[in-house]
Structure 1
Amino acid sequence: MGQNKNIRILDIGCGTGRHSIELAKRGYSVTGIDLSESMLKRSKEKAEKEKVDVDFQKADARNLSFREEFDLAIMLCEGGFSLMETDEMNYQILQNASKSLKKNGKLIFTTLNALFPLYHSVKDFIESQKQDGNTNCEESSFDLMTFREHNITSLEDDSGNKMELHCNERYYVPSEITWLLKSLNFKTIDIYGAKLGPSTGKINSQQTILKCL
């Protein structure tokens, strides 16, 4: 974006505000949306602590009211896209991200890379990434027919409440993503591979980073 501080940025699926707050600290105007009231509460507390102004709103990424308002939309660390139960709902998120952008606006997002399970075991990968903390993946399986990973994750929140999440995440191959974005009239689509952490440039890595214009 050329470090243009006059642009407006939309953070879709902002969670507790990690990216929104960092961008605001760098002088950008940011709106962060999420469906979770508890995450938005935490994001507002963090923004207040950091003394930055971010417009956090509760909203469903599948049904946004924004129309040609933002110069850049971001969905990082699967901020919504690829986490839905159906392909149709995932596509709705891309549609709404596209509608929110001004002419010549840009979209940057990450999605899980379906080429990764063709070369690696998703279950083994998750096991190898385990770290000390309050989350644990109990079960994991990957369906090559649907490109969906099903897993059960147990976690403990900051208040000590234990819960179990049944997750269903869609992986996408680059050709699928390219077709979906072209159907939304994006003209330039750049795809990068990245593992958890620094970008590696390898197409068979765990995540796919996309920059769309």
Structure 2
Amino acid sequence: MTSYGKFAYLYDQLMQDIPYEKWLEITARYKQKYQVRGSRLLDIACGTGELSCRFAMEDYDVTGIDLSEDMLAVAKEKSDAEGLKIPYFQQNMAELEGLGQFDLITIFCDSLNYLSNEQEVIKTFEGVASHLEDNGLFLFDVHSEYKMEEIFKNQTFTYIEDDICYIWNCFEGEYPFSVEHELTFFVKDNQLKERYERVEEFHFQRTYSINQYKKWLEQTGFEALHILGDLEDKAVTGHTERILFIAKKK
């Protein structure tokens, strides 16, 4: 699984278009729809804690986990600044243990796609099941096969601002519907105004068919309740980029 390094400290600046409010709204709506009474929420792959903090501000009892020590350092600084008492733990999502029981568990922002193989996805679902109360909800989103093949593969993306820019190259991965991301950042040195630091990151993502995700959910004790296209109340189409699953523990 990929772990963010220096990118952790650039993440919020570069990812300002992330749909945090959509995830909040969907979680609240389906929590009410399925009458989930408790508000204990495990935010898996919490990253810089932006969504964890927003959940906490909406009166969820939040715990965050992430593989990256750097991401967690940013998350703790952020929640402390907001006066939020959110416990964070460094764990691999495929090796969840000792976190207690939760009413809701989320893996948002296509974080599940960073798992390198099928067995890791299954182990993640098993770990989620073991930490979720009966009738609790599990919500996660993934990249579609269409996005991996038509949006990412063999494409280059760029971002240019005065203090930071990047070149993001995407290459076809070794496995079906997998992509290797090669990112090069140039970040202005705050003390030496004309100097830029070069930062390189390499990330791998892989996705699977909807039927495969449903099969693994059923295999690990879940019922897939809803499958949403692009975080909207609409069916998945051949051009959907992000697929969101809402599942209930049986």
Q: Tell me whether the two structures share a fold, i.e. TM-score over 0.5.
A: yes
Q: 2: distance between equivalents of 1:23 and 1:38?
A: 21
Aligned twin of 2:226? 190
Aligned partners of 1:135 and 1:153 also within 8 Å: no
Aligned twin of 2:241? 206
The partner residue of 1:142 within 135, 158, 172 is: 172
Q: 2: distance between equivalents of 1:96 and 1:161?
A: 39
Q: Does 2:135 match 1:110?
A: no
Residue identity matched to 2:73: K
The 10-residue stretch of structure 1 (37-46 or 198-207) with the greater mean CA deviation from structure 2: 198-207
1:165 Cα deviation after fit: 2.1
Q: Does 2:154 match 1:153?
A: no
Q: Deviations over 1:7-59 (max 9, x none)?
A: 21000010110111001011110000112111111111111111112111122
1:155 Cα deviation after fit: 2.9
- CA 210–157 in structure 1, closer or farther in 2 if over 3 Å, else same: farther
Residue identity matched to 1:22: R
- CA 178–43 in structure 1, closer or farther in 2 if over 3 Å, else same: same
Aligned partners of 1:152 and 1:166 also within 8 Å: yes
Aligned twin of 2:198? 162
- Give 1 or 2: higher helix fraction: 2
Aligned twin of 2:214? 178
Gaps of 5+ in 2: 1-30, 190-195
The partner residue of 2:119 within 88, 103, 123 is: 88
Which has the higher Rg, Structure 1 or Structure 2? Answer: 2
Q: 2: distance between equivalents of 1:150 and 1:206?
A: 17
Residue identity matched to 1:150: E
Q: Where in structure 2 are the equivalents of 1:62-81 lying within 5 Å?
A: 62-66=94-98, 69-79=101-111, 81=112
Q: RMSD value over aligned CA atoms?
A: 2.8
Aligned twin of 2:82? 50
Matched residues, number: 206
SS at match of 2:113: coil
Residue identity matched to 1:112: H
The partner residue of 1:30 within 62, 65, 76 is: 62
